Amino acid sequence: MQDNLSPIFAALADPTRRAIIGQLAKGEAHVGDIAKPFLKEMSLPAITKHLKVLESAGLITKTKDAQWRSCKINAKPLEEATHWMEQYREFWEESFDRLDEYLKSIQSKKKSKGKKHGKG
Protein backbone atom coordinates (compact mmCIF):
# COMPACT_ATOMS: atom_id res chain seq x y z
CA MET A 1 0.00 0.00 0.00
CA GLN A 2 1.42 3.35 -1.04
CA ASP A 3 1.19 6.03 1.64
CA ASN A 4 0.81 9.42 -0.01
CA LEU A 5 -0.62 11.15 3.03
CA SER A 6 2.29 10.86 5.48
CA PRO A 7 4.66 13.16 3.56
CA ILE A 8 1.81 15.62 2.98
CA PHE A 9 0.87 15.80 6.66
CA ALA A 10 4.54 15.86 7.71
CA ALA A 11 5.15 18.83 5.40
CA LEU A 12 2.04 20.62 6.66
CA ALA A 13 2.98 20.03 10.30
CA ASP A 14 5.39 22.96 10.22
CA PRO A 15 3.90 26.46 10.58
CA THR A 16 6.47 28.02 8.22
CA ARG A 17 5.55 25.56 5.48
CA ARG A 18 1.85 26.21 6.05
CA ALA A 19 2.53 29.94 5.74
CA ILE A 20 4.40 29.31 2.48
CA ILE A 21 1.43 27.31 1.18
CA GLY A 22 -0.77 30.24 2.21
CA GLN A 23 1.37 32.61 0.18
CA LEU A 24 1.33 30.35 -2.85
CA ALA A 25 -2.44 29.95 -2.63
CA LYS A 26 -2.55 33.58 -3.81
CA GLY A 27 -0.48 32.73 -6.89
CA GLU A 28 2.90 31.70 -8.23
CA ALA A 29 5.89 33.42 -6.61
CA HIS A 30 9.67 33.59 -6.87
CA VAL A 31 11.72 32.01 -4.09
CA GLY A 32 13.03 35.42 -3.02
CA ASP A 33 9.51 36.79 -2.66
CA ILE A 34 8.43 33.72 -0.69
CA ALA A 35 11.42 34.14 1.64
CA LYS A 36 10.94 37.88 2.40
CA PRO A 37 8.45 37.54 5.28
CA PHE A 38 10.68 35.00 7.03
CA LEU A 39 14.16 36.50 6.61
CA LYS A 40 14.17 38.17 10.05
CA GLU A 41 13.64 34.78 11.67
CA MET A 42 15.56 32.43 9.36
CA SER A 43 18.06 32.30 6.53
CA LEU A 44 17.40 31.85 2.83
CA PRO A 45 18.93 28.31 2.96
CA ALA A 46 16.41 27.44 5.70
CA ILE A 47 13.56 28.64 3.49
CA THR A 48 15.01 26.60 0.63
CA LYS A 49 14.92 23.51 2.85
CA HIS A 50 11.27 24.18 3.64
CA LEU A 51 10.54 24.52 -0.07
CA LYS A 52 12.30 21.19 -0.74
CA VAL A 53 10.12 19.46 1.87
CA LEU A 54 6.99 20.93 0.28
CA GLU A 55 8.20 19.93 -3.17
CA SER A 56 9.07 16.36 -2.16
CA ALA A 57 5.58 16.03 -0.62
CA GLY A 58 4.18 17.14 -3.97
CA LEU A 59 2.56 20.24 -2.47
CA ILE A 60 4.46 22.68 -4.69
CA THR A 61 6.26 22.63 -7.99
CA LYS A 62 9.36 24.67 -8.78
CA THR A 63 10.36 25.96 -12.19
CA LYS A 64 13.52 27.67 -13.33
CA ASP A 65 13.43 30.55 -15.77
CA ALA A 66 16.93 31.94 -16.31
CA GLN A 67 18.18 32.85 -12.80
CA TRP A 68 14.66 32.97 -11.31
CA ARG A 69 13.18 30.04 -9.44
CA SER A 70 9.45 30.19 -9.25
CA CYS A 71 7.08 28.09 -7.11
CA LYS A 72 3.42 27.33 -7.40
CA ILE A 73 1.01 25.29 -5.36
CA ASN A 74 -0.03 21.82 -6.47
CA ALA A 75 -3.62 21.27 -5.35
CA LYS A 76 -3.86 17.50 -5.89
CA PRO A 77 -2.08 16.44 -2.64
CA LEU A 78 -4.14 18.95 -0.67
CA GLU A 79 -7.29 17.46 -2.20
CA GLU A 80 -6.16 13.97 -1.12
CA ALA A 81 -5.56 15.14 2.44
CA THR A 82 -8.87 17.01 2.51
CA HIS A 83 -10.75 13.96 1.24
CA TRP A 84 -9.19 11.80 3.97
CA MET A 85 -10.06 14.36 6.68
CA GLU A 86 -13.58 14.83 5.33
CA GLN A 87 -14.47 11.24 6.23
CA TYR A 88 -13.66 11.95 9.86
CA ARG A 89 -15.39 15.31 9.89
CA GLU A 90 -18.59 13.58 8.80
CA PHE A 91 -18.11 10.95 11.52
CA TRP A 92 -17.66 13.58 14.24
CA GLU A 93 -20.58 15.67 13.02
CA GLU A 94 -22.84 12.60 13.14
CA SER A 95 -21.53 11.77 16.61
CA PHE A 96 -22.21 15.31 17.83
CA ASP A 97 -25.69 15.20 16.32
CA ARG A 98 -26.42 11.96 18.20
CA LEU A 99 -25.04 13.47 21.42
CA ASP A 100 -27.18 16.57 20.93
CA GLU A 101 -30.30 14.45 20.48
CA TYR A 102 -29.44 12.42 23.57
CA LEU A 103 -28.91 15.54 25.68
CA LYS A 104 -32.21 17.01 24.48
CA SER A 105 -34.01 13.79 25.42
CA ILE A 106 -32.46 13.88 28.91
CA GLN A 107 -33.47 17.52 29.39
CA SER A 108 -36.97 16.74 28.18
CA LYS A 109 -37.27 13.84 30.65
CA LYS A 110 -36.02 16.04 33.51
CA LYS A 111 -38.54 18.76 32.66
CA SER A 112 -41.47 16.34 32.49
CA LYS A 113 -40.34 14.63 35.73
CA GLY A 114 -40.18 18.02 37.49
CA LYS A 115 -43.74 18.92 36.39
CA LYS A 116 -45.08 15.60 37.75
CA HIS A 117 -43.59 16.30 41.17
CA GLY A 118 -44.86 19.88 41.34
CA LYS A 119 -41.56 21.46 40.34
CA GLY A 120 -41.24 23.99 37.54
Rounded CA separation 32/42 (Å): 13
Cβ neighbours of 62 (radius 10 Å): 13
Residue 12: its pLDDT value, please?
95
Residue 68: its pLDDT value, please?
77
- Phi/psi at 41 (nearest 5 deg)? -100, -25
Residue 2: its pLDDT value, please?
67
CATH fold for the domain made of 5-74: Arc Repressor Mutant, subunit A (1.10.10)
Q: Is the dihedral of CA 20, 23, 26, 32 positive or negative?
A: negative
- Phi/psi at 14 (nearest 5 deg)? -95, 130
Residue 108: its pLDDT value, please?
79
Strand-pairing partners, residue 62, are: 71
Q: For the chain, what is the radius of gyration of the CA atoms? A: 24
In order along its 120 residues, the chain shows pLDDT tens digits of 568 899 999 999 999 999 999 999 999 999 999 999 999 999 999 999 999 999 999 999 998 877 778 999 998 998 999 888 888 877 787 877 788 787 888 887 777 776 666 655
**Considering the entire predicted model, what is its pTM?**
0.71
